[in-house]
Amino acid sequence: MSNKIEKPALISFENSNFPKRIQSLTISLRRKFMMCDKILLCAFIVLLNCGVIRSQQLPNIVIIFADDLGYGDIEGFGAAYSTPNLVKLQAEGMRFTNFYSQPQCSPSRAALMTGCYPQRVGFPWVVGPEGPEWTRDKYFVGLNPNEKTIAEVLKDKSYATACIGKWHLGHHTQHLPTHHGFDMYFGLPYSNDMWPANMPAFPDLPLVENEKTIEKNPDQSQLVRRYTERAQLFIKQSKKKNFFLYIAHAMPHVPLYVSQQFAGKSGKGLYPDVIQEIDWSVGEVMKTLKNEGLDENTLVIFTSDNGPWLVYGNHAGSSGGLREGKNTTFEGGVRVPFIARWPKRIPSNSSCSSFAALIDLLPTVADITNTKTLPNVIDGKSILPLLLGKSKQNVREVHYYFQINDLQAVRKGKWKLHFPHNYEHVTKPGTDGVRGEITSQSIGLSLFDLEADPGEATDVSTAHPDIVVELKALGEKFKSEMDRDKRQAASSQ
Ligand SMILES: [Ca+2]
């Protein structure tokens, strides 16, 4: 006896003995069903193209951004204290050893948000509230709404988006994260030292929820914990769809604060205590992702906005042997730790020495989410091939180092050419939160081999005049293009 299951015979109504009226009705119904099939197929294709279906397979994206954390400030990059959660992140992902921020807070955030050198989007300097003299022409400035932010790229793909922590791209209502692609915001709209305790000319420091000030001069020892709790809540509330979570810690920017749980824990001073609390926060976020079953399908990035603010001495971090620190275009000012974890996509325990930068994160996210076109010219390139371990080629031929609107250096391959410029150099480091002293020093046209000499100690320009000529020409060309093409920031004036 055969086990074959007989399919029911298909009845051909057209040739059957059914009455003509029933035959006609049946044919009509079948045509309607066929039409429905076609409509459903079309709808499926439309949904696919819109990303509605595909978005279910896209990763969640979490960017954790530390403030003034130097290249040597975490374990694995040179720190002499433990940061176990950041070590775990490196073991499960990829570390970049030539990753560039900008020299200061606001420009770095402009670069991260827009994929552009901050000079291109009118954000070359630090902004702040109306207060001291230096903020006079900057307190009304905000990110131009015509710029497409990384959050808006992801909103187009139906991501839920949250900005938790320091924004620093304009603090007036129309400049806040909720006007730049974020569904929610919770944090300080600018730096944690821009408050009366530091300088009486500053107004009270607001803690903002969406667009409303909910506290003034908040207890900064609780910020890391509160930001972490908000991040965990957002993950839990958003888990049914893709989400983008941007956590921009106030720490370890001075004034340093740490919760009771971490005070004295490192045994090595307040600065390491603060870093260990940030490390704890990273661990809590990872734990929440795992508990919610999301850690496999989430790209987690950890990095910093600039190098250590060395004038604060024992309240500043470490450049890990790189030259100078924050506010300069030497490597210590702009090279920062970068870790990316995305299980099954990014090879675990891997390292990348190709150079990359904050400006590359928006195009990388666009690449991951199949965003084909962006409305404005941007400077960054997708580093997805580097992240996936498919390439070790620099995604951009050249990296440009700006401070304010001054193009101070150019990197191509291992070569870095400094144009003549002045820079701040610490002559007397501060102690326990009190600022030290700086002098203005100058550097002439100088060439460094960053592979042999990452500390930029030996000028080899006379030995390589051809490289000097090439990099000088690249810099001059880019600077003139930038001056011609740059766009304006927004103003609330
Ligand atoms: Ca900073």
With a cut of 70, say whether residue 437 has pLDDT above it: yes
**So where are the chain's domains?**
58-397, 406-491
- Ligand 1 center from residue 61 Cα (angstroms): 22
Q: How far, in Å, from the CA of 431 to the mean position of ligand 1?
A: 19
Q: What spacing in Å lies between the alpha carbon of 46 and ligand 1's midpoint?
A: 44
Q: Confidence class of residue 397 from pLDDT cuts 50, 70 and 90? A: very high
- Report how far apart, in Å, the C-alpha atoms of 417 and of each of 12, 42, 404, 464 are: 81, 56, 18, 11
Centre of ligand 1 to C-alpha 14, Å, is 78
Residue 79 structure tokens: 């720190």
Q: How far is CA 91 from CA 286, 289, 433, in A?
A: 14, 17, 34
Q: 165 in helix, strand or coil? A: strand
Residues 6+ apart with CB under 8 A from 95: 76, 77, 337, 338, 339, 350, 351, 352
163 is an active site residue: no
Q: Exactly one of 116, 168, 172, 352 is catalytic; name it.
A: 168
Q: What is the pLDDT of residue 492?
A: 87
Look at phi and psi of residue 350 and say left if phi exceeds 0, alpha if psi is from -120 to 50, else beta. Answer: beta
Q: What is the pLDDT of residue 378?
A: 98
Q: Please give the distance, rounded to the nearest whole angstrom, from the Cα atom of residue 67 to the centre of ligand 1.
A: 4
How crowded is residue 215: how many other Cβ atoms within 10 Å of its Cβ?
Answer: 12
> Tens of pLDDT along 186-207?
999 999 999 999 999 999 999 9
Q: Do domains 58-397 and 406-491 have the same CATH topology?
A: no
CA-CA-CA-CA dihedral for 221, 227, 230, 235, to nearest 10: -140
* Averaged pLDDT for residues 77-88: 98
Name the percent of the chain lying above pLDDT 70.
89
Q: Report the distance separating Cα 381 and Cα 438, nearest Å.
A: 36
Statement: 406-491 belongs to CATH 3.40.50.410: no
Helices of type H across 244-381: 270-291, 331-334, 361-368
Please give the distance, rounded to the nearest whole angstrom, from the Cα atom of residue 7 to the centre of ligand 1.
71
List pLDDT tens digits, range 403-426: 999 999 999 999 999 999 999 999
Identify the pLDDT of residue 31: 59
Statement: residue 10 has pLDDT above 50: no
pLDDT in tens, 24-48: 544 554 555 455 455 554 454 444 4
Mean pLDDT (the chain, rounded): 92
The Cα–Cα gap between 353 and 96 comes to 6
Instruction: Give residue 28's pLDDT.
Output: 55
Chain-centre distance for alpha carbon 342: 15
The tokens describing 92, both together, are 């499960």
Residue with tokens 């950890």: 302
Q: 64 C-alpha to center of ligand 1: Å? A: 13
pLDDT at site 16: 42
Q: What is the CATH number of domain 58-397?
A: 3.40.720.10
How many angstroms separate the alpha carbon of residue 36 from the centre of ligand 1?
A: 57
Alpha-carbon distance of 277 to 261, in angstroms, equals 9
At 91-109, the pLDDT tens digits run 999 999 999 999 999 999 9
Q: How far is the CA of 134 from the centre of ligand 1 (A)?
A: 17
The pairing of strands 94-100 and 356-357 is parallel
105 catalytic, yes or no?
yes
Q: Any idea which of 27-31, 59-63, 169-173, 252-256 has the lowest mean pLDDT?
A: 27-31
* Ligand 1 center–CA 339 separation, angstroms: 18
The residues facing 339 across adjacent strands are 95, 302
φ/ψ of residue 179, rounded to 5: -100, 5
φ, ψ (nearest 5 deg) of residue 243: -140, 155
Residue matched to tokens 């000088």: 472
- For 182, phi then psi, to 5°, come to -100, 130
Structure tokens at 324: 């100078």
- Specify the pTM: 0.89
CB atoms within 10 A of CB 361: 24
Whether the predicted pLDDT of 345 surpasses 90: yes
Residue pair 271/252 in contact by the 8 Å Cβ criterion = yes
Q: Out of 105, 116, 163, 352, which one is annotated catalytic?
A: 105
Q: What is the pLDDT of residue 57?
A: 85
**Amino acid letter, residue 124:** P
421-436 tens-digit pLDDT: 999 999 999 999 999 9
Question: 416 and 410 in contact (C-beta within 8 Å)?
Answer: yes
Lookup result for tokens 């991040």 = 231
pLDDT of 402 > 90? The answer is yes
Q: How far is the CA of 142 from the centre of ligand 1 (A)?
A: 17
- Which pLDDT tens digit goes with each residue over 286-311? 999 999 999 999 999 999 999 999 99
According to the model, what pLDDT value does residue 39 have?
A: 52
Token pair, residue 82, equals 């433990």
